[in-house]
Structure 1
């Protein structure tokens, strides 16, 4: 089994921390800007030599053809607008605008740790490059059991005294960055700066409860467990009630069943 990339930053100063993060980003599948940005840019620059490796950085322009949609029949209804973003578990998709975690938005996730793991698994399974900051207790085996790709997942268990600075670097090259449940909320002024970085990068930032300015809120609560008998048995599934709300999103609730 592939292992997730783990960046130990505890003994590094700020410059070395940034260089190490960029080296890890360059080594992840895909490279370059986040998926949402790639989908709208006809030409991008892909770094082929990691910064900080001692070799010069070489960049190659890559042309990306714009998809052409077939002409709709006369009188047919207009197709629904495609919302750029990161994939989520299927039973949760109808709760979100466009069925995805919308790119350029900050989303708060609270309650169930299983929900956070499920979001990571769905995102990486779809090829999104993700990072988890400040969650040393995360078991990557749980992500793999939910179908996630560990080669698309980077872990920064100890981001140092300023996790927001680490997040700013990661947003430049990844599709999704998740802050662990133990990472405290920042001041509103700092949150606004990070939100601007999220929009500019076309990435997704998942934060904890109480984060200032979160545009969407996903709250998970375990409701039942499958596979357990009267005090015996193997846990086969975990059912989670997921509640979604937001500034321009009607409140909705769904049940999501994750494999145990």
Structure 2
């Protein structure tokens, strides 16, 4: 497990010892304050210290004030508890945030996952990534994310669901990487119950059973490159949101390269 620049090897520990070590490490993380469960009835989108307040976005009906961080993250409706997302993605989601207490599937572009982590941590949300050893944390930082609010568990061991359950109790958002295998629907329902009880956000892969929302990213163009020359300075991603209670919507999001 990695928290900021601290590295802990969990490979030699049994399940109970892994859980105990995870709890100890989570208690040292800065950011979100009390555990997510204590905030399940309140927004998890508190503006980071020193962040500017932008004008409401006209694209979102009934929008409240918009809070923008270094990554362009914005929360449109303070009545909806959740975790902030990049500004261009916000109009696709109910209330302009990743809704607390729900399971959301993310597929396609890895840039989208990185952007979601950057926006969330920039706003002070405490996040964890499970089963994604290839994740480049430098990319999160380049998008304006706070690495001290990000925990990495590259190898969750033989029972990833137990690790995820512990993380959900103490963090605002947990993202499952490709190293976490899809569980049976019955186990997925148990984890979904943990997500609801904690008031946290669980981001899973496209094949995960029971996801209530789906965000799909697809690169559409690159900025800064000419005819064989130049330096990549931006990546444009088409993001599509669909779900049980949300009509399909699509928007273009431009991330710094």
* Fold equivalence (TM over 0.5): yes
Query: CA–CA distance in 1 between the matches of 2:12 and 2:256?
Result: 37
Aligned to 1:150: 147
Match of 1:246 in 2: 243
Q: Identify if the C-alpha distance between structure 1 residues 194 and 237 changes in structure 2 by more than 3 Å, giving closer, same or farther.
A: same
Task: After TM superposition, give the deviation of residue 3 of structure 1 in Å.
Answer: 3.3
Q: Which runs of 5+ in 2 are unaligned?
A: 43-61, 65-76
Q: Which runs of 5+ in 1 are unaligned?
A: 42-76
How far does residue 204 in structure 1 lie from its aligned partner after superposition?
0.2
Q: Of 194, 204, 207, which residue of structure 2 is paired with 1:207? A: 204
Aligned counterpart, 1:17: 18
CA distance, structure 2, for counterparts of residue 198 and residue 91 of structure 1? 26
Structure of higher CA gyration radius: 1
From 158, 164, 180, the equivalent of 2:161 is: 164
Question: How far apart are 1:7 and its partner, in Å?
Answer: 4.0
CA distance in 1 between partners of 2:4 and 2:186 (Å): 36
The CA distance in 2 between the partners of 1:26 and 1:81, in whole Å, is: 27
* Number of residue equivalences: 223
List structure 1 runs of 4+ shifted beyond 2 angstroms: 2-8, 36-41
Separation in 1, partners of 2:15, 2:29: 22
2:45 is aligned to none
The superposition leaves residues 23-82 of structure 1 with CA deviations (integer Å, 9 ceiling, x where unpaired) of 111000144311x742637xxxxxxxxxxxxxxxxxxxxxxxxxxxxxxxxxxx9x8771
Shift of 1:20: 1.1
Equivalent position SS for 1:221 = strand
Q: How does 1:36-51 map to 2 (within 5 A)?
A: 37-38=38-39, 40=41
Q: Choose from 8, 32, 35 the match for 1:33.
A: 35
Aligned to 1:56: none
Write the mapping of 1:60-209 to structure 2, written as runs, cut at 5 A.
82-209=79-206
Q: What is the TM-score with the length of structure 1 in the denominator?
A: 0.81
TM-score normalised by length of structure 2: 0.82
Tell me, yes or no, if the aligned pair for 2:40 and 2:198 is still in contact at 8 Å: no
Q: How big is the shift at 1:217?
A: 0.2
The alpha carbon displacement at 1:180 in A equals 0.5
| Partner-residue secondary structure (3-state), 2:219 | strand
Task: Name whichever of 81-90 and 7-16 sits farther off.
Answer: 7-16
Query: How far, CA to CA, are the matches of 2:89 and 2:174 in structure 1?
Result: 19
1:223 is aligned to 220
* Structure 1 residue 11, shift from structure 2 partner: 1.5
Q: Deviations over 1:130-170 (max 9, x none)?
A: 00000000000000000000000000001011111110010
Partner Cα distance (2:78, 2:23) in 1: 34
8 A Cα contact 2:41 2:199, kept in partner? no
Q: Provide Cα deviations, 1:167-189, integer angstroms capped at 9, x if missing partner.
A: 00100000000000232210000
